[in-house]
Structure 1
Amino acid sequence: MGLTGGIGAGKSEVSRLLVECGAVLIDADRIAREVVAPGTPGLEAVVEAFGQDVLAEDGSLDRPRLGSIVFADPEKLAVLNSIVHPLVSARSRELQEAAPEDAVVVHDVPLLTENGLAPQYDVVVVVDASPQTQLDRLVRLRGMTEEDARARMAAQATREERLRIADIVIDNDVPLERLRQRVKEVWEDLRRRERELGQKPRGPQAPRKPQAERRQQEQREE
């Protein structure tokens, strides 16, 4: 299963709740930090591309500094993604293969929509929140300036683009208890799908069409 959502939509909370239900989580953000840790080829490549200024005093990656560079320049963001994404994909595949055979594996991928990764998964779940809710959370909970928050939101796919690839949508403009209940419903749906398929949801798979696109095709055929 692929899980995605815009920054500030609450995807991490949904991931946590799915793990409570029994899912095996493969977190692309966490892996992205690991592949550019001090001493890794990933960090060397980032420094080569962006210079020594992106390093903190202890030799680790200065993420706020790097973020201020790439989120203001789409070309530089593309360069960073070209370095990090192949490393993240390789590590994700390793973890996928190591998962128990009967597990429901959840790939938490922030840029799933942007990178056209939906066809790799049996099911795509999108965590959705209004842009204003996203903005409020980024400013209030992460301490971003409104300008920085808007820039990071603008660097991602639009809400409409994410919803277009969704098989399942989790609305996170709701209280935590309602979110918890919705995640439990989604978990039961995932387990049902697993039983019907006779295998766990896992990527990569044969290309699949998102639910919205399948509905449109069915309507045309009718």
Structure 2
Amino acid sequence: MILGLTGGIATGKSTVSAVFREFDIPVIDADAIAHSVLAPGSDGVDQVWEAFGDRVFEAGKLNRKALGHIVFNDADELKRLTDITGPLISAAIKAAVSTYRRKHANLVVLDAPTLFEAGYAAKTNEIMVVKISAAQQLQRLMARDDLSEDQAESRIKSQLPLQNKIEKADVVIDNSGSVETTRVQVVKWLDKMGFIKTPAEDSAG
């Protein structure tokens, strides 16, 4: 089974991913893959240079902050970037899924902030969305990435609205409370789906 894990930026997907990893469930991190496809010397970086020029490079190295400032404030520039990175990320995800299938993994989690936007949702069996309030999302993003309110709002607006994702979800995890409260929700889902056994089930068996 492939579970698509998504939410809005800074809503707490990493918190939920950590619970899956706690139970040795493989997680494919699309953000990490997106970072790797723009690693120094990669084909992705060469394509970014051709598309954006030296305005996003400093001393020959990609300035990710400068690139982010450009693409999160201009839909056309964001599309230009995703046209480069999208196929590279998709190929890497496909390879990772194939690897876990060969290992006969019962559950693989695809952690992707753009699960719907990039078309990955169609490749999953169920979708889990992590939610928090709009105010929490804004504050957490500002604190996490050291952004102004305007910058944070621009990044949030560059994604599909969180409510739209919630409406398409098979399961919703509320991450507005404590980490433990979030963990309990994920463990309950894993238990219900039969991917883990509760202590009571272990003793009964």
Common fold by TM > 0.5: yes
- Name whichever of 114-123 and 32-41 sits farther off: 114-123
Could you say which residue in structure 1 is the equivalent of 2:73? 72
> Deviation at 1:188?
2.0
Q: Deviations over 1:66-90 (max 9, x none)?
A: 0110111001101101110110010
> Deviation at 1:55?
1.7
User: Any stretches of 5+ residues in structure 1 without a counterpart?
Assistant: 193-222
Could you say which residue in structure 2 is the equivalent of 1:61? 62
1:32-51 aligned at under 5 Å gives the runs 32-51=34-53
Q: Secondary structure at the match of 2:136?
A: helix
Measure the CA separation in 1 of the matches of 2:95 and 2:32: 14
1:123 pairs with 2:126:
yes
Q: Which residue of the other structure, out of 145, 149, 155, is the alignment partner of 2:148?
A: 145
Measure the CA separation in 1 of the matches of 2:141 and 2:96: 30
Distance 1:86 1:191, change over 3 A: farther
Q: Deviations over 1:83-137 (max 9, x none)?
A: 1011001011111111121341111111012233322110111011111110010
Measure the CA separation in 2 of the matches of 1:46 and 1:120: 27
Match for 1:20: what amino acid?
E
Measure the CA separation in 2 of the matches of 1:191 and 1:86: 34
Distance 1:52 1:191, change over 3 A: farther
Could you say which residue in structure 2 is the equivalent of 1:206? none
Q: Which residue of the other structure, out of 8, 11, 15, is the alignment partner of 2:10?
A: 8
Q: Deviations over 1:168-221 (max 9, x none)?
A: 1001111111111111112223435xxxxxxxxxxxxxxxxxxxxxxxxxxxxx
| Cα root mean square deviation, aligned | 1.5
Could you say which residue in structure 2 is the equivalent of 1:89? 90
Measure the CA separation in 2 of the matches of 1:109 and 1:33: 13
Percent of pairs identical after alignment? 38
